[in-house]
Structure 1
Amino acid sequence: MLADLTTGFADWQAAVDDAITVHSDNQYTIYMGAIAERVKGALLPRRWKEEAEPEGGWYQAEKSDPCLSIGDPYPHFIVPTLPLVSRPIPLLYERQREFVREMPIRQNDLDSFSFYSSVDANYEVNLPPHSNLVIELDAGELVTGYPLYYIDQGKGAKVTFRYAERYFEPGNVKNSTVRDDAYNGVIMGFEDIYYPSGQAELYEPFWLRTFRFIRIEVQTGESPILLRRPRYLESAYPLQAKSSVASPADWVEPLYNVSLRTLQFCMHETYEDCPYYEQMQFIMDTRLQALFTYSVGGDIGLARKALEDFHCSLLPEGITQNRFPSTMVQIIPSFSLHYIFMLHDYYQQTGDTELVKRYRPTVDAILDWFERKVGNTGLVERIGYWEYIDWVTEWEAGEPAASKEGPSTVHNLVYVSALQVAAQLSIVTGRSQVGEEYELRARGILQSIERLCWSEQQGMYCEGPAFEQYSQHAQLWAVLTGLSTGEKAKRVMNNALDKPEVLKCSFSMAFFLFRALEKAGMYERTVELMNQWIELLPLNLTTLPETPTESRSDCHAWSALPLYELTHCILGVKSLKPGWCEVLIEPHTLNLPEMKGEISTPAGIISVNWKKTDKAFYIAGNVPDGIALTVRWNGVIDVNYPNGGSFNESVNCDTSL
């Protein structure tokens, strides 16, 4: 037996693959979740997908028992470390697609070839011996999947396939240029290398690839080579996008669609930070991605799996790993707090208290870990590990500078927010005494922050006791935790947005910034912030980047925030009670003249259509029967529909506000 791969059955075969080796030849493969391959075609087993008796050395699998016992899969209660269980999520979809165009090759590059130079229906091209030729192909949009390369002849040749999300300025791996500018840009990225066997063959990489552009460079030897135009199998999680929005504003639908594609291609066997690089499931990223998933289709499968994954990552000291599954342990303590937020989001979406009970011990362990970090000031300090909060230019590695000298206001406020959320979860699952304890802890931290970190002169909270630095992050979390309310909250948030010296949030923390503005009654100020997304559209992006400028990744789903804002806030559809048994429709119309849409919820489809004119506002739509509904707008509409159904309201007023 080659390895213990038993599934409880033994009706399959296995073969040792000597053809493929993995390599790490450039900077793009250092942090790659994908496996860059070097393949010797002559050693690949052939026709194993099509024939019952394929070529190569195949071995019949054998069913094995962990101990000398027959019939009992786990005798004496000895259980394998990773027992195989039924798949908790659906299979990834596969869809065959074509590349949409060949890209021009820079003048100082190699000679190019074209699949369109042939009239053959298969778009085949013959390349002569002793040649070095190149072609670059565009899929039309960033995708994840399996390229299919058809090759014949070519013994002694070397074919290199390079994958890229965009064209780069030469020598610059982080830039914000037009993504398909082939005249001024180059394709940089990781590569698969294939050595043809000289026979007709189809090369498909083992693991999925992320790309919009592929560069194929062919070096032939003594023999010619025949290539057929490649295709690819697009593959990702089968997300059912049931929600939609539309508006006369020219940016709404394009931005919604780009955001949806970003989310879609960061979902595979797990949620991913980015499909091109790490392909890792990080807690904070995943919390946001799950929220966005709820917004567009209501799917909870991958979110449930993520909650279990991160629960399984809990370390003996009481903190979770910040990314999981992973062969290497990495810890960002604040990400463990986002696990609690994610559990609360799931409860709000589904009303499922049983799953909350399942993970209460993990919540308790995380919060107790932070409680042990409270110092003499009454604040959490010297947390250790990677104290990341956000990719702020002024913070090394995304860590608040204050955390290196003592307590960090931001870390403490995120901790308070998690305590408050955990208190709610404890109460709804019958542990009111634990909930009261968490609320008491939260109040103590808030009192210390108010005493040690508030600056009346600046009208903001500094980054730590006697640490004179100010960030949007500290102010927004002060609002979200209720430390700042009413007029003080407005003052804090206006200063956070308007004072040039205040450190700014990047895309990773933008969701929380928008929520703070909404809670402070200042959602109209999100117009200027949303421009960061709108201004990306002329760059011909098909997915959204990790950061607004100088981004590494061009597909990073924490940036898919418009999915949430357009559905929940601008269209205005929100749940008032867990499981969507009561609904609020309260649009923030901002500078838009009109919007309509349908939102998929656990209660069913909710439709809304609102319109502004110079003198009036109109809103109509439908909520499933039996779902209590409140319709509000701008302080002049506030109507209850206790049994749901259709609604139609209008008001004559000055809508210029």
Structure 2
Amino acid sequence: MMNHTDEKLFAARPVWAWHPARAEHEAGYTLFRKTVSCTDEAHYHLAVSADNRFNFYLDGKLLGRGPLRGDLDHCFYDEYEGELTAGDHIFAAEVVVWSEAWRWSAAPWAEMHAGGGFMVAGYAGPERMELPGDWLTFADPGRRPIPWKDAWKGGARIPAPPMDEVDFSKYRADWCTVPVPEGEWISPFVLGNAEFRDAYQTDPDTPWNLMKRTLKQMKETFSPVAEILEGPESLSIRAGRLTGSCPAGRHTVLLDLGRNQTFMVRFSGSGGRGACRLAYSETLFDEQGHKVHRYPGTLGQKGYADRLRFAGDAWRYESFWYRTGRYLELDFDLTGPLTDVELELSFITYPLGPFREFRAPEDPVLEEIYRVACHTLECCSHEHFEDCPYYEQLQYAGDSRIEALVSYAVSGKDELGRHALKSIAASQLSTGLTQSRYPSVFKQVIPEYSLIWALMLHDHYHCFKDETLVRELLPHVETMLNAFERARLPGGLIGPLPGWHYTDWVSGWPSGCSDRGEDVPETILNLFYAEACIRSAELETLVGNSAFAEVLRTRAERTLSAVNRQCYDSEKKRYLDSPGRPDWLSLHANTLAVLFGAVPEPERAGFLREICADPELKPMSLYFSFYLLSAIEKYGTPEELRAHYAPWEEMLKNGSTTFPEKPGLCRSECHAWSCAPAWFLLRTEMKDHQPKTR
């Protein structure tokens, strides 16, 4: 069935099972447990998966979180292996279903599922561990996911996972360590045989095509609370944890975590009838409702929160998925006092580190930019790259190219970059274009991002020389480039393709589109296409496809020639965003004309200097500044490159601890497309010019 070094792992055919009284898309937490008795020391080796997600425990200790995000054709299982002492041991899983994923529901967009299910294969000592066996299951009545709009004025269209509501009169935190009441836990219902991606059946029982996890588990490290900004004197911070008691009545406790971050919550105590809202925010707000990064300020009236209801006994809450923010507000409404309160947080991220050290003793602000850029990357790196951790948690190709390059430079590791390349390849549609983001329940196509994905493959090869990955993905790239070629107009430009023609968040560009919402050719898209052809031609030559490499180079030359004929305004001496529109001018199109070779090489340095000082050109956001910094690095001076770090320097002065979606008023305060300076700082300040990209 499976090629595996441990033949015993899949010696028996595993099945998927579920709680017999739970509907497949019913939102809620479903618990599973099995007791294993060992007369002597014993070895265990298990494969575990679930739909939607699971936390897996041994004797109350967390073994791992899973499965790795994927889709039904890439349904990952985790492996757990270790030793058991003589005696009884409890294997247990907490499985969440975040409801059916339609746009206005509580389901996260990056989770692609078919409905509730749980799968275990393997052994523990002499016992096989496949379901149903003597596994027991329980539909937890004390904990449920709640939509953002119900959590705390969070709005309805939020792609991130929902919050929790816990009623401690019905919830037992020790369910995975103590004996359970007879009759409450029942045998699970078998859904069907497990199917494996490398061994398809002609008529499969279940929709999940299993494959082994391809990334490490996320890393959790203790994260101390920095300061109590508001709250009763009975609470204090000890060893980085909030501890103490809280009297009956209404109380608000406002905590500063020291920096914006992604974290898991562990909150426990005794007594206290009443309720508590745990609200999370990336910033505070002043009296006018403007964001501020320093106290004084309030949490405002929008964001997300968990809701807890106390029953007078001992209680413990742990978040199932990570939360994001710098500020945490506990809003208590108690009819009885709380005692033995302890709040502990752990920073959670993909294990990218350790990071390379960067030193600039003569310009220490660059060291701070580098540090915050690396932290921003960490906060947007979990089971895949993310655009932002607070709102969307989606892996976009445009963002991921920058995140991948920065991760290659600062850590020398490529796991997440490789994962992004393969994920986006798996999203390819029958049109040939890839989806803009993946995994995602909702299909979205940004044609420009398909081309950027091709550039990502070129980036990866020049960083890691992995010809095997090139051979695997290059056919997908060829199909995608052919889709663009089919859109070529008689005059030589690539015309509009179906999808969202997003380039950058620019004032005056509806929905971030340089075509201003009109069905016209875009200079920027054509320049990206030419560059994708040039870079892909290099990879075609590498794998021996010299004939198609020449085809791609010819396509690129034809496209650049058409751009120079139709998109360059000889009077303004600038490239227009679209032919015949002299009022459509942007730094974007003109920068790419330099970087991607439309401007003759002897003129590039001077032309770049001119456009950087031209007030008529639409400016870039932090995201697209990556391409401007690339052009300056190649054709400008170190002094000019340093001057263009000014927006990041200003954000630090304003108190940012992660870099946002864009400077000033914006939605997301942590957006990894803004971490690009770390890439350039290592390459220029430390004279590290490998790998080369443009």
Superposition TM-score tier, normalisation by shorter sequence = 0.7 to 0.9
CA deviation vs aligned residue, 1:14-55 (integer Å, no higher than 9, x gap)? 432233131223245632413122222222233124336489
Gaps of 5+ in 2: 1-17, 20-115, 123-129
Aligned residue for 1:234?
347
Aligned residue for 2:384?
270
CA deviation vs aligned residue, 1:176-225 (integer Å, no higher than 9, x gap)? x4x1222477574211111113210111122110121100101123x333
Aligned residue for 1:37?
164
**Does the aligned pair in 2 maintain the 1:166–1:187 contact within 8 Å?**
no
Change (3 A) 1:118 1:488: closer
CA deviation vs aligned residue, 1:385-416 (integer Å, no higher than 9, x gap)? 21000111121111003561411111111111
148, 153, 175: which is aligned to 1:48? 175
Change (3 A) 1:132 1:347: same
SS in 1 for 2:408: helix
Counterpart Cα distance in 1 of 2:615 and 2:349 = 42
| Aligned counterparts, 1:225-374, within 5 A | 225-226=338-339, 228-248=341-361, 249-374=363-488
Aligned residue for 1:85?
211
1:115 aligns with 2:235: yes
**Does the aligned pair in 2 maintain the 1:45–1:55 contact within 8 Å?**
no
Change (3 A) 1:183 1:310: closer
Q: Shift of the alpha carbon at 1:478?
A: 0.8
Q: Shift of the alpha carbon at 1:529?
A: 1.2
Counterpart Cα distance in 1 of 2:170 and 2:161 = 22
Aligned residue for 1:615?
none
Q: Shift of the alpha carbon at 1:358?
A: 0.4
238, 253, 259: which is aligned to 1:141? 259
Q: Shift of the alpha carbon at 1:551?
A: 2.3
**Does the aligned pair in 1 maintain the 2:145–2:162 contact within 8 Å?**
no
SS in 1 for 2:624: helix
Aligned residue for 1:562?
677
Number of residue-to-residue matches in the alignment: 561
269, 280, 283: which is aligned to 1:151? 269
Aligned residue for 2:54?
none
Aligned residue for 1:126?
246
Q: Shift of the alpha carbon at 1:438?
A: 0.9
Counterpart of 2:605 in structure 1: which amino acid?
A: K
573, 584, 594: which is aligned to 2:688? 573
Counterpart of 1:453 in structure 2: which amino acid?
A: C
Aligned residue for 1:546?
661
Counterpart Cα distance in 2 of 1:363 and 1:94 = 36
Change (3 A) 1:333 1:171: farther
Counterpart Cα distance in 2 of 1:306 and 1:394 = 31
97, 103, 127: which is aligned to 2:229? 103
Aligned residue for 1:495?
610
**Does the aligned pair in 2 maintain the 1:479–1:516 contact within 8 Å?**
yes
Change (3 A) 1:79 1:356: farther
1:21 aligns with 2:21: no
Counterpart Cα distance in 1 of 2:476 and 2:345 = 42
Counterpart of 1:191 in structure 2: which amino acid?
A: A
TM-score (norm 1): 0.80
Aligned residue for 1:399?
513
**Does the aligned pair in 2 maintain the 1:47–1:55 contact within 8 Å?**
no
Q: Shift of the alpha carbon at 1:118?
A: 11
SS in 1 for 2:628: helix
After TM superposition, the structure 1 stretch with the greater mean CA deviation from structure 2, 385-394 or 47-56, is 47-56
Q: Shift of the alpha carbon at 1:378?
A: 1.8
**Does the aligned pair in 2 maintain the 1:14–1:59 contact within 8 Å?**
yes
Counterpart Cα distance in 2 of 1:180 and 1:208 = 23
Counterpart Cα distance in 1 of 2:548 and 2:256 = 56
Counterpart of 2:225 in structure 1: which amino acid?
A: F
**Does the aligned pair in 2 maintain the 1:115–1:229 contact within 8 Å?**
no
Q: Shift of the alpha carbon at 1:353?
A: 0.9
436, 450, 459: which is aligned to 2:564? 450
SS in 2 for 1:343: helix
Change (3 A) 1:122 1:412: closer
Q: Shift of the alpha carbon at 1:117?
A: 10
Change (3 A) 1:113 1:336: farther
| Aligned counterparts, 1:477-516, within 5 A | 477-516=592-631
Counterpart Cα distance in 2 of 1:117 and 1:446 = 62
SS in 1 for 2:533: helix
Counterpart of 2:144 in structure 1: which amino acid?
A: I
1:6 aligns with 2:119: yes
Q: Cα RMSD between the aligned structures? A: 2.7
Change (3 A) 1:408 1:576: closer
| Aligned counterparts, 1:603-618, within 5 A | none
CA deviation vs aligned residue, 1:546-568 (integer Å, no higher than 9, x gap)? 11222221111111112111101
SS in 2 for 1:342: helix
Counterpart Cα distance in 2 of 1:92 and 1:55 = 36
Aligned residue for 1:164?
281
Counterpart of 2:413 in structure 1: which amino acid?
A: D
Gaps of 5+ in 1: 106-111, 579-657
**Does the aligned pair in 2 maintain the 1:7–1:84 contact within 8 Å?**
no
**Does the aligned pair in 1 maintain the 2:501–2:513 contact within 8 Å?**
yes
1:202 aligns with 2:329: no
**Does the aligned pair in 2 maintain the 1:46–1:56 contact within 8 Å?**
no
Q: Shift of the alpha carbon at 1:60?
A: 4.9
CA deviation vs aligned residue, 1:455-494 (integer Å, no higher than 9, x gap)? 2222211111111121111111111221113342234322
**Does the aligned pair in 2 maintain the 1:460–1:475 contact within 8 Å?**
yes
Counterpart of 1:150 in structure 2: which amino acid?
A: S
Change (3 A) 1:97 1:451: closer
TM-score (norm 2): 0.76
Counterpart of 2:286 in structure 1: which amino acid?
A: E
SS in 2 for 1:444: helix
Change (3 A) 1:410 1:194: same
Aligned residue for 1:422?
536
Q: Shift of the alpha carbon at 1:368?
A: 1.4
Counterpart Cα distance in 2 of 1:252 and 1:55 = 62
Change (3 A) 1:164 1:321: same
**Does the aligned pair in 2 maintain the 1:476–1:516 contact within 8 Å?**
yes
**Does the aligned pair in 1 maintain the 2:234–2:244 contact within 8 Å?**
no
Counterpart Cα distance in 1 of 2:289 and 2:180 = 50
Aligned residue for 1:631?
none
Q: Shift of the alpha carbon at 1:64?
A: 6.5
After TM superposition, the structure 1 stretch with the greater mean CA deviation from structure 2, 83-92 or 395-404, is 395-404
Counterpart Cα distance in 2 of 1:474 and 1:387 = 14
Counterpart of 2:639 in structure 1: which amino acid?
A: E
Counterpart Cα distance in 2 of 1:159 and 1:78 = 46
Counterpart of 1:379 in structure 2: which amino acid?
A: L
Counterpart Cα distance in 2 of 1:167 and 1:445 = 48
SS in 2 for 1:384: coil
Change (3 A) 1:42 1:413: same
